[in-house]
Amino acid sequence: MKPEFTKQFSEMAEKISYKYWIVFAAIASLLFGILLFIYLEQKPETPVPAYNGEKATVIVAATDIAPRTLIQSNMLTTKEIPVEFVPDDAITDVKDIVGKPAKFQIMRDDIVTDRKVLMDIKMAGFTGTIPPDCRAISIGINDVTGISGFAKPGDYVDVLVVSGSGNDSRITSNIILQNILLLAINKTPMYSQRNVVVNTPANEDGDKNNNSNNNSNVQGNSQPAPSNTASSGVATATLAVSPRDAMELIAAAQSGTVYLVLRPYKPRDTFTTNTEYSKVTNKGATPQGGQPMPAGGGQPVSNGAAAPAPAQSYGSVEVIRGTKVTREGA
């Protein structure tokens, strides 16, 4: 009986085409989905228990904040979350970060932390040491024009330019900039000065010798510290100036020699009004007829031809014949 039924079912299945099997599978899937939906709708929902623990208020971003953007109050909002999910460095007061730049990209609804905000602008590196209204510009200096390396990043200097024409005997010096912040010497910026050993000026002979030994070892130090000796290799000084002053400084550097003038720790006057000095030199000038004056103040030395030096013969051969000596080939 059973084999007969199986045989009949097989014959009937062979008569059904592939298209009908597809339709049958689709109808079966639809019926199964409807039954599952009805079952889930009738199942009672389990209520989520309310959180009764302690919560804390944190500051979250109300919008996406790009890096280096100054954070404003309208970019932030507050949110209460369980205390166990609050980061250790989370910001809890909007006033603490308003006006400060974002260090990284802060996405919307992210909790704002100290790591995402530059709480101190100097944390931005060298650019953080530049005043907001200034630009950094470097000029070439040496041990003479750079105050022998005694000027340190963070000091204030005046900028003096000495110029003069090759055809003119007038030398002019001008203080073109005053009270300028020195940002760096060579590649040692202002924010790394905490790692630099500063040698104080000596008052005694023994201290001078000691300081000279200390200064000679600065160059071999692993820290990028500027040296105070003539062997320091002072090459550049980076100043914080306004854009207008930067143009004036570069133009002046092309027409003369730039000197840094170190200001005292507490100067008596912030600015100097007398900023220009000129001098006419007599370099190369000679009295009448171009005859140099003698040191004793007498008459000019005659401009006659000087006595010629004894001629020295070359290529001659000395020949000795008995007691007679002659030169041949002279």
In a domain, 228, yes or no: yes
Give Cα separations from 256 to 163, 166, 250, 305, 320 (angstroms). Answer: 4, 11, 10, 41, 67
pLDDT at position 211 is 41
Q: Is the pLDDT of residue 305 over 70?
A: no
In a domain, 326, yes or no: no
Q: Is the pLDDT of residue 15 over 50?
A: yes
What's the average model confidence in pLDDT over 176-195? 79
Q: How many domains does the chain have?
A: 2
- 63 with 109, same domain: the answer is yes
Of the residues 280, 300, 318, the one at which a domain ends: 280
- 222 with 254, same domain: the answer is yes
- 170 with 232, same domain: the answer is yes
- 102 with 138, same domain: the answer is no
For position 109, which CATH number holds?
Answer: 3.90.1210.10
- 68 with 174, same domain: the answer is no
Sequence-separated contacts (24+) of 121-127 with Cβ below 8 Å: 122/191, 125/191, 126/183, 126/184, 126/189, 126/191
In a domain, 324, yes or no: no
Q: Which domain holds residue 79?
A: 55-119
Cβ atoms of 276 and 174 within 8 Å: the answer is yes
What's the average model confidence in pLDDT over 200-215? 40
Residues 6+ apart with CB under 8 A from 17: none
* Residue among 177, 290, 322 nearest 241 (CA): 177
pTM of the model: 0.51
In a domain, 140, yes or no: yes
Task: Give 64-110 pLDDT, tens digit per residue.
Answer: 999 888 899 999 999 998 888 899 999 888 898 998 889 889 999 99
Q: Is the pLDDT of residue 224 over 90?
A: no
| DSSP string computed for 104-119 | S-B-TTPBPBGGGB-S
pLDDT at position 300 is 46
In a domain, 271, yes or no: yes
pLDDT at position 5 is 64
Of the residues 91, 119, 147, the one at which a domain ends: 119
Which range has the top average pLDDT, 48-52, 188-192, 215-219, 239-243? 239-243
- 77 with 191, same domain: the answer is no
Do strands 170-185 and 156-164 pair parallel, antiparallel, or not at all (unpaired)?
antiparallel
pLDDT band at 216 (very low <50, low <70, confident <90, very high): very low
In a domain, 21, yes or no: no
- 87 with 193, same domain: the answer is no
- 169 with 234, same domain: the answer is yes
Q: Is the pLDDT of residue 229 over 70?
A: no
- 87 with 175, same domain: the answer is no
In a domain, 258, yes or no: yes
pLDDT at position 301 is 45
Sign of CA pseudo-dihedral 58, 64, 70, 76: negative
pLDDT at position 111 is 93
| DSSP string computed for 174-235 | EEEEEEEEEEEETTEEGGGGGGSPPPPPP-SHHHHHHHHHHHHTTTTSSS-PPP-SGGG---
In a domain, 223, yes or no: yes
- 244's enclosing H/E stretch is helix 243-255
